[in-house]
Homo-oligomer: A and B are copies of this chain.
Amino acid sequence: MPLDEAGALHAYAVTGIGEIHPGDDLARQLADALGPPGSSTLRDGDVVVVTQKIVSKAEGRLVPLDHEDLDAKVALVEREALRVLRRRGELRITETAHGFVCANAGIDLSNVGDGWAALLPVDPDRSARRIRGALGRLLSVSVGVVISDTFGRTWRNGVTDVAIGCAGIAAVVDLRGSRDATGRELVATQVCVADEVAAAAEIVMGKDRSVPAAVVRGVPAEWRRDGSVRDEIIRRPADDLFR
């Protein structure tokens, strides 16, 4: 039986994006790599996944840091963190001002240039909304946008990419109230689709670490709405069991 193209998902690396600098118009660079209008390879309903690193760079979220100075690095992390949950050696598991729980306040040293560190965007949902709006104007398409970052997990080795911001796509899809194939009502089936899209995108971006964006095609049409990582994915401290 042939594989079902109708329900398939596709992820493509977006190549041809140059080095991003503070103040760059990131949406225009994405549009140039994906455009031009009319012959753009983007389609309505596609999701454009953009890594945190180039969003932070374009938004000027860079601070000077000597990469060899471990004390200065830890000090920066502790200053940026809203709260430090755990310390081990130089590692800090932190809660950020956004509510993310991640290593080292999400501060990024790789691919940002010697002498610099990249902080997380101030409001990654807003960053996603701006990119989505600009891509719509530049390419006349209605796409979803996910800002992705690479986080560890509490109980599992290895990092995966997750969503830190989104626009035009649900962050969490609530299937509660739906019924399974036997007619039994599904419980606890709120699926974090934005994280799954970010993970799929990482597979194609990870092949070459200089690829900072991907297009994911084939996500269900019912996910197209004004989603928000902050409102839907961030678990409030009162609701988790381990903080």
CB contact between A8 and one of B11, B113, B157, B180 (< 8 Å): that residue:
B11
Query: In the complex the two chains form, is A158's CB within 8 Å of B8's CB?
Result: no
Q: How far is the CB of A215 from chain B (nearest CB, A)?
A: 6
Query: In the complex the two chains form, is A15's CB within 8 Å of B4's CB?
Result: yes
Query: In the complex the two chains form, is B2's CB within 8 Å of A7's CB?
Result: no
Number of copies: 2
Q: Mark A9-28, 1 if CB is under 8 A from B, else 0.
A: 11111111000000000000
Q: List 10 A-B contacts (CB under 8 A).
A: A1-B35, A3-B12, A9-B11, A86-B241, A111-B182, A153-B153, A156-B195, A158-B172, A196-B202, A203-B218
Query: In the complex the two chains form, is B234's CB within 8 Å of A157's CB?
Result: yes
Chain A stretch 31-56: residues in CB contact (< 8 A) with chain B: 33-35, 41
A204 interface residue per 8 A CB criterion = yes
Q: How far is the CB of A198 from chain B (nearest CB, A)?
A: 8
Complex Cα gap A137–B155 (Å): 35
A contact face: mostly helix, strand, loop, or mixed: loop
Assign chain A's interface to a size class: 35 or more
- Residues of A at under 8 Å CB distance from B? 1-5, 7-16, 33-35, 41, 67, 85-86, 88, 93, 100-101, 103, 109-114, 150, 152-162, 171-173, 175, 178, 180-182, 184, 186-193, 195-197, 199-200, 202-204, 206-210, 215, 218-220, 232-235, 240-243
